[in-house]
Structure 1
Amino acid sequence: MVRPNTVTAVLTAALISLPSAAIPTVFGPQPRQVAGSSDYWVANIKRQGSVAYGNDASYQVFRNVKDYGAVGDGSTDDFAAINQTMWDGNRCGLGCDSSTLTPALVYFPPGTYRISQPIVMPYYTQMVGDALVVPTISALSNFEGIALIDSDPYIPGVSNPDGSGINYWTNQNNFYRQLRNFVLDITALPEVNPTSGYGAACLHWQVAQATSVQNVIFNMLAKSKTNKQQGIFMENGSGGFMGDLVFNGGGYGAFLGNQQFTTRNWTFNGVGTAIYMNWNWLWTFKSLTINDADIGIDMSALQNGFNQTVGSIMIIDSSITNSAVGIKTSRNASSFPATGGTLAIQNVDFTNTPTAVAAADGVTQIVVGNDKITFFGQGDAITSQSWTSRHRGKRMPQANTTATQTVIPLPDFTAESYNNGTATSCSLSPVSLQTKTVESELTGHTIAASLLDSSGAVFERSKPQYENVPASSFVSVKSAGAKGDGSTDDSDVIQQVFNNVQSGQIVYFDHGAYVVTKTINVPKNIKITGEIWPLIMASGNFFGDQTQPQPVFRVGNPGDTGNVEISDLVFETLGTAEGAIMIEWNLAGESPGSAAMWDAHVRIGGTAGTKLQQDTCMGATPDSQTFEASCVGSFLMLHVTQTASAYFENTWFWVADHELDLAGHNKTNIYNGRGVLIESQGPVWLYATSSEHSQLYNYQVSNGKDIFMAIIQTETPYMQAAPDALNAGFIPNPAYTDPNFADCSTESCKKAWGLRVIDSSDVSVWGAGLYSFFDNYSQDCLLTESCQENIVDLQCATNVRLIGLTTKGTTNMVTVNGLPVALQQDHRNAFGSTLVLFDV
């Protein structure tokens, strides 16, 4: 994912002077010791995981830190043993930009592990603490380093000309990491490091997609005017998801900067500044609880004292209570850029917080507190509804609050004349929309009742970890006879396991690469999990005809109602599979969220074994400007059908734009038909999902309703428009409501849509980052933000609300019924263009 790289020099110059963990040159486990006692299945299940396309048959995927000598007694320095556990097996570190061939699931039994240096996470690592008795990682008083756990170390003594550091891994490509079930404790350290002038952090989390932090407690010294300790330090990246976190004490609970991120269920107790947002393009906070803070969220950061660095923040179903200031913003009548500091707040309680939203001085009130805010918007808004607002703040609305644009209705036209040719069930009529710059409370948006829980908040559900299920209840597919070797057809064995699994059992995919040559039918009432992302690889002629597409995983049958849980899997193709629907989701959940998938991803090409790598599908070369049939991926990555309901969290649908395994990590041209198609009547929840580089579209909702998304992120294929969307191997199929770009007069029009909503209603999008960075790998188009013409397509759509829409490199931000209604040039942000609200 080679994007424009946003790097902030704030803090990094001082922080990189702190020593990083030394990586040993000789590895190997110490004599085996008896691991700490635990009934958690992760500690006790038989380990058979192997790397199908690796070159070391003895490589250990699973490792227990106590097998490498860690004691966990609360006093011994366990750094060396933990470090050895992490790096055993020539894993991907400094000088290795990425690799899927050295995965490691590192398990920490119950205990308190004291360390004197940071634990560095190699690429493709899951750190998993015991879920029954959560282990603690605690700093010794002589600890030196940036954070207890470091996901992307700075190279000591090396920096860029601007003073920013240079990391082991490219931050926006730092994929595939998990951290869950830990207490991270820095209470033995001073409030401020006397050498650097900064406080230590519990976690340095500088990551991109397919990463997560779950069920972690951050313990710091009690807040004070001098405390600079941080729970999370994140300076850049391109994420991502974090959920179920608790921050106690500290100067900053979370110091954040990232392109886009979704966070859910964070709790802050007694923190100085709970969240300091240093910069972003967009960030959504869901179910945020802040209690007893000096400042809840500080989004007032300025570059050079003038330019806003925060693109947008969206907050929903949250509370900031018993705090001095809820949110601090620097946005004002003269701030720059025009839509910088965009802010949306919905259903947020500010009880006993006298100032809900304050200006940069922290005193001037924009919105008074001590109440619940139904909906507040700060930024540019476009709506078809009449404007109703009220101002509770002591400061008057800022400048430019009068209408700046009215879209005048044009004569009616028919679907046949519409520029993508999609047939719709309604008469496509122009709509009248008004644009305002707002800083006020607005009419609240009614989210469909089926999407809400009993309290009226949007439903959410954390990934199950099966902590109360014994290891004996897990059914290993390898024990049942599957090979997972990347070549044997495992279809029949997997199907047999699914057919025979009993109530109370969980299907377990040991790490490996499982080739399937026919549809795998996933029955209702089943639970499936994997060992650090085993691969399900579609192969063969059965998936080779795009005129008769076939599902790889069919979850339930149309009309089925039941329960399914899927987690920690990766779906790929083994070579071309132009007729493969990677996941077809038919099942409707018996209850909200009971049909769900977490931390499972679809990845097309770019890795060992796929036959779609840089050696055969190189991008950005003179020979790569025409379609290559041998570099076709799948028909469609996810199809949520009409009778289904589903909950997805932290799922990445990625067509590889670059190589992850072969040396050089060069650009790749892989042609995938479609990203995510939702036809469900709801409810459907998508938290922290991303769909990138498909040819026709990345997200499409057609004939659907009752859908909630937070955040979605897309990228247009880098090679377009050479070839364009109509010449990349996939014929638009009206049975799937495909766009056909029939009325396009330019090549920049014939590019993948980021989001389409067709004949659909009650769709709520809380944060959308839809990016177009290239025109045939050239970025000259960014000079005029015109890499493509259109990116959001709404047709015959009702009660659709986009909150925090950011687009990049597209002339038109939104088209409605075939007409451009939001132009990027009118809503410029530091990165791209942003609307706080688009409502039809």
Structure 2
Amino acid sequence: MSPLQYSPPINYTPKPSGIPFKIKNPSAKPWLSQATATVAQATATVAHATLAQATLCSASNNSSGYWYEQIDHDGESSFMDSKYKDSYTVFRNVVKDFGADNTGKNDAAAAITAAIKAGPSNGPDRGSSSMGTTGQPAIIYLPAGTYLMKSSLQLYVGTVIIGDPTNPPVLKASSDFKNDHIIYAKDPNFGGTINFYIGIKNIILDSTNVGADKSINLLDWTVSQATQLTNVGFNMPTNTAKHVGLTTQYDYNSNLILNDLWFKGGAIGMKLSGQQWVFKNISFSGTTTGVQAGGTDIVFLGCRFEQGTLGIDAQGTSGSLTVVDTTGVGMGTLISSSSSNTAGNSIVLDNVQNSGATVKIGGQTTLSGNVANTWVHGHLYTSKNAKLQSQQGQTVTTSRSPSLLSGKNYFTMAPPTYQEYGTGQVLNIKNVPGIPVYGDGETDDTRNINSILSRYKSSCSLFYFPAGTYIVTDTIFVPAGTRIIGDPYASTLSAVGSNFEDESAPRAMFRVGYPGDVGVAQVSDMLFTVADILPGCKLVEINIAARSPGDVGFWNTHFRIGGAAGSQVESECTDDPNDCKAAWGLLHLTTTSSAYIENMWGWTADHDLDGNNPQTISTGRGLLVEGTAATWLIGTGFEHNTLYQYNFQYARNVFTAMQQSETPYWQGQGSKALNPAPWEYLASSDPDYSNCASRDSKCRMALFERIYGASNLFLYGGCNWVFFNNNGDCSGDCQTNAIEIANSTSIYLYGTNTKSTTNMVLEGTNVIATESDNAGGWGGVIAGYLYDS
């Protein structure tokens, strides 16, 4: 590999493409028929009574080690040809199964590489580009210990490296290390923007054996959405000018979130270029430069910089840099940025603690010391003055909702590992005696999943869904007290059948609690999809409220409509959106809900991940938020949904850090359907586009954000991108309106970015902010937009 520090031009256009699934089962058609799993006892009836969970669970004494290492793993690649499927293993323990040395004495790179590459015993390996994007899930498990690395590891789509969080394994480069990275995460066969479903968690990367005068990078993370890098440490020598923790240097990329990481030593912690990120709960200690941040829209949340020369080098942040609840201790300068004659290079600081130079612009100190409230450098709109103000450093008040806070900071939490659980508390959904569940992409598992969740709801069990596709023909009900975890990107619930066909009466595939329920409901590492064209399917509905922040949460859990094996949408939705109302909507947070959501991609496919079928799909809605108690959305993206991506309807007390969205590629000039078409039955929360002329195709495109009747919304880092009109390249004014706000109070938008949009913000039908007035970044940048606040 030759390094490439890649920043896209303003006219950049994605080049989506798929990976052939050459060993797919040609007879797998879950949308045609489903055998129902045998139920050994009467199917449990789900009660509709309000449930208030009285007590929290206590963990057992976990003396046998991390539960994920100890339990049986019986996951599968559901749509692989049966000729190969039986010999394909998803979970691979690098020590037990591949003989990797974890004593630190012998090279472990070859054994770990063998674990990563292994395909079916009688078929191609995972580096051969033969199993699509979704057909080759592989969990590479590293038990505790030290793994000596004399050469690099190369990952492929579908690869997740997981270590023991109770004693994180160390991948330690040898003194004679051969390559420039310990791990290359990007699948080299494909571009960075289609590198999905890759993860690393619970490990430490270490370069302290390598001379401080030798160049080495610990990890290249040139990947995009539906990826996870969490609970990873980067240990480097101090006083080095050549060790770098993390790079994104091998192509363009479109990532969402990096979270809960630590960097010690090194010349640079993270050297990045790409589209957008939120960096959450990341610490840097003794690192000369914490982050070189090249990108369009970047948010730092809850980060800490200690004993370094420079915290954030934002010279390459062309759009906006937003820094929230972040601390600098013993730093020469916390933030350095370029001066600009446009709206680009905007900076927003919100609750930032620092004792020295806090912001330097063009080499000159602009701000020193703490920022108790909000400081804005860039274009600002306020309630008292709806006209553009270009600020070189203006303090404004952000009146945070107490329900969103932990102390003075916005509440955040690390993704749960459940490391405190013993194996006896983990219930494999496929191994419950007398209640068979298959997850085979063929059998209807609905009744038995519901039966298990109902029967064991008070047992404080952790429900583990092994890799596979679980066919669902009616609503899965998740009661209070439920904790669910899957194999990342491989454990899928897929809807099919007549219960989800009526657009006028949408039905949830996965319902979390009923209105009024209070307690715990947590979901990690799951994926939701449809196996057929289902205009009445609302994939996930959350009704339950958390008793304490984080009790109700989703982590690294994603949506995919079309674009993959196992769904008729992939093969049938190739041309006309009027013929493909594939799902009513993705996620609904109802009025009674209170949920914490981190690292979620709600993707209606623009291309085929497992082949080359064109994808022209209409999913009605992205994310609808109606919750009023407290909602947290951190590192989320909703893309290519028809009526809207984000809709805050009468929502109150909402915190977001990074909202990324794109318009459907088939909309715009020349489209066969103009909003609200093809959707005929509009909900009261739906925009009807009556403000647009009947044939105005650029006005009748999906809103990125709709805010109606809402209050106390705190939205940091909004990315609103348009790339295509009618599946053809488009630059300039490709869409009329991006964000619409009406009848709301106390709305705070910080770090809002658009691409190829005429109007950035409307108040009702009145245009307030245009992209041309706020030119910068990838099109338009607004540092701060305060609506009735």
Fold match by TM threshold 0.5: yes
Q: Does 1:776 align with 2:726?
A: yes
Indicate which of 528, 532, 548 corresponds to 1:571.
528
User: How much does 1:440 deviate?
Assistant: 1.1
Distance in 2 between residues matched to 1:650 and 1:91, nearest whole Å: 29
Q: Secondary structure at the match of 1:281?
A: strand
User: How much does 1:778 deviate?
Assistant: 2.1
Counterpart residue number, 2:497: 540
Indicate which of 97, 116, 120 corresponds to 1:86.
116
Indicate which of 151, 155, 172 corresponds to 1:138.
172
Counterpart residue number, 1:232: 246
Indicate which of 692, 698, 701 corresponds to 1:748.
698
Q: Secondary structure at the match of 2:666?
A: coil
Letter in 2 for 1:650: N
Q: Does 1:515 align with 2:471?
A: yes
Distance in 1 between residues matched to 2:393 and 2:372, nearest whole Å: 11
Counterpart residue number, 1:368: 368
Q: Secondary structure at the match of 1:557?
A: coil
Distance in 1 between residues matched to 2:537 and 2:493, nearest whole Å: 12
Structure 1 residues 568-717: aligned runs within 5 Å: 568-613=525-570, 615-618=571-574, 624=575, 626-629=576-579, 631-662=580-611, 664=612, 666-717=613-664
CA gap 1:734/1:572 in 2 versus in 1, 3 angstroms: closer
Indicate conservation of the 8 Å contact 2:170/2:206, yes or no.
Answer: yes
CA gap 1:822/1:85 in 2 versus in 1, 3 angstroms: same
Indicate which of 433, 452, 463 corresponds to 2:415.
463
1:565-609 per-residue CA deviation (whole Å, 9 max, x = no partner) reads 101110110111110110010000011121111011111110000
Counterpart residue number, 2:484: 528
Distance in 2 between residues matched to 1:702 and 1:207, nearest whole Å: 33
User: How much does 1:451 deviate?
Assistant: 0.6
Counterpart residue number, 1:74: 104
User: How much does 1:504 deviate?
Assistant: 2.3
User: How much does 1:255 deviate?
Assistant: 0.8
CA gap 1:97/1:437 in 2 versus in 1, 3 angstroms: farther
Counterpart residue number, 1:410: none
CA gap 1:269/1:581 in 2 versus in 1, 3 angstroms: same
Q: Structure 1 segments of 4 or more deviating over 6 A? A: none
Q: Secondary structure at the match of 1:141?
A: coil
Distance in 2 between residues matched to 1:581 and 1:671, nearest whole Å: 13
Letter in 2 for 1:70: A
CA gap 1:579/1:40 in 2 versus in 1, 3 angstroms: same
Structure 1 residues 329-368: aligned runs within 5 Å: 329-331=337-339, 335=340, 338-351=342-355, 354-361=356-363, 364-368=364-368
Distance in 1 between residues matched to 2:354 and 2:189, nearest whole Å: 41
**Higher RCO, 1 or 2 (CA under 8 Å, sep at least 6)?**
2
User: How much does 1:434 deviate?
Assistant: 2.4
Distance in 2 between residues matched to 1:183 and 1:204, nearest whole Å: 14
Indicate conservation of the 8 Å contact 2:635/2:658, yes or no.
Answer: yes
Indicate conservation of the 8 Å contact 1:96/1:169, yes or no.
Answer: no
Letter in 2 for 1:378: H
Distance in 2 between residues matched to 1:123 and 1:209, nearest whole Å: 12
Calculate the aligned-residue CA RMSD, in Å. 1.8
Counterpart residue number, 1:270: 286
Indicate conservation of the 8 Å contact 2:256/2:660, yes or no.
Answer: no
Counterpart residue number, 1:61: 90
Letter in 2 for 1:673: G
Counterpart residue number, 1:474: 426
Letter in 1 for 2:617: I
TM-score (norm 2): 0.88
Indicate conservation of the 8 Å contact 1:771/1:808, yes or no.
Answer: yes
Q: Secondary structure at the match of 1:209?
A: coil
Distance in 2 between residues matched to 1:59 and 1:328, nearest whole Å: 50
Distance in 1 between residues matched to 2:704 and 2:451, nearest whole Å: 38
Aligned-residue sequence identity (percent) comes to 30
Counterpart residue number, 1:221: 237
Structure 1 residues 386-465: aligned runs within 5 Å: 433-453=386-406, 455-465=407-417
User: How much does 1:137 deviate?
Assistant: 0.2
Indicate conservation of the 8 Å contact 1:232/1:253, yes or no.
Answer: yes
Q: Secondary structure at the match of 1:68?
A: coil
Counterpart residue number, 2:185: 151
Counterpart residue number, 1:188: 209
Q: Secondary structure at the match of 1:499?
A: helix
Q: Secondary structure at the match of 2:725?
A: coil
Distance in 2 between residues matched to 1:802 and 1:152, nearest whole Å: 33
Q: Does 1:795 align with 2:742?
A: yes
Structure 1 residues 709-728: aligned runs within 5 Å: 709-721=656-668, 722-726=671-675, 728=677
Q: Secondary structure at the match of 1:826?
A: coil
Letter in 1 for 2:94: V
User: How much does 1:728 deviate?
Assistant: 4.2
Larger deviation: 716-725 or 119-128? Answer: 716-725
1:534-553 per-residue CA deviation (whole Å, 9 max, x = no partner) reads 11011100000010111111
Distance in 2 between residues matched to 1:174 and 1:628, nearest whole Å: 30
Indicate conservation of the 8 Å contact 1:97/1:168, yes or no.
Answer: no
Distance in 2 between residues matched to 1:732 and 1:91, nearest whole Å: 47
Q: Secondary structure at the match of 2:541?
A: strand
Counterpart residue number, 1:491: 446
User: How much does 1:191 deviate?
Assistant: 2.8
CA gap 1:725/1:599 in 2 versus in 1, 3 angstroms: farther
CA gap 1:94/1:241 in 2 versus in 1, 3 angstroms: farther
Q: Secondary structure at the match of 1:472?
A: helix
Unaligned runs of at least 5 residues, structure 1: 1-5, 11-36, 154-166, 194-198, 302-308, 386-431, 619-623
Structure 1 residues 810-829: aligned runs within 5 Å: 810-829=757-776
1:585-638 per-residue CA deviation (whole Å, 9 max, x = no partner) reads 00000111211110111111100001111x4323xxxxx2x4342x32110100
Indicate conservation of the 8 Å contact 1:741/1:750, yes or no.
Answer: no
Q: Does 1:43 align with 2:69?
A: yes
Distance in 2 between residues matched to 1:700 and 1:84, nearest whole Å: 46
Counterpart residue number, 2:47: none
Q: Secondary structure at the match of 1:207?
A: coil
User: How much does 1:96 deviate?
Assistant: 6.4
Distance in 1 between residues matched to 2:649 and 2:125, nearest whole Å: 44
User: How much does 1:9 deviate?
Assistant: 4.8
Distance in 2 between residues matched to 1:815 and 1:282, nearest whole Å: 21
Indicate conservation of the 8 Å contact 2:692/2:700, yes or no.
Answer: no
Structure 1 residues 274-353: aligned runs within 5 Å: 274-277=290-293, 279-301=294-316, 310-331=318-339, 335=340, 338-351=342-355
Distance in 2 between residues matched to 1:144 and 1:632, nearest whole Å: 52
Indicate conservation of the 8 Å contact 1:569/1:601, yes or no.
Answer: yes
CA gap 1:674/1:725 in 2 versus in 1, 3 angstroms: farther
Larger deviation: 434-443 or 788-797? Answer: 434-443
Letter in 1 for 2:539: M
Distance in 2 between residues matched to 1:489 and 1:521, nearest whole Å: 15
Letter in 2 for 1:832: G
1:51-77 per-residue CA deviation (whole Å, 9 max, x = no partner) reads 110122210000010120101111201
Indicate conservation of the 8 Å contact 1:192/1:200, yes or no.
Answer: no
Q: Secondary structure at the match of 2:254?
A: coil
User: How much does 1:312 deviate?
Assistant: 1.6
Distance in 1 between residues matched to 2:281 and 2:675, nearest whole Å: 42
User: How much does 1:140 deviate?
Assistant: 0.6
Q: Secondary structure at the match of 2:675?
A: helix
Counterpart residue number, 2:17: none
Indicate conservation of the 8 Å contact 2:427/2:464, yes or no.
Answer: yes
Counterpart residue number, 1:26: none
1:813-837 per-residue CA deviation (whole Å, 9 max, x = no partner) reads 0100111111101111241211100
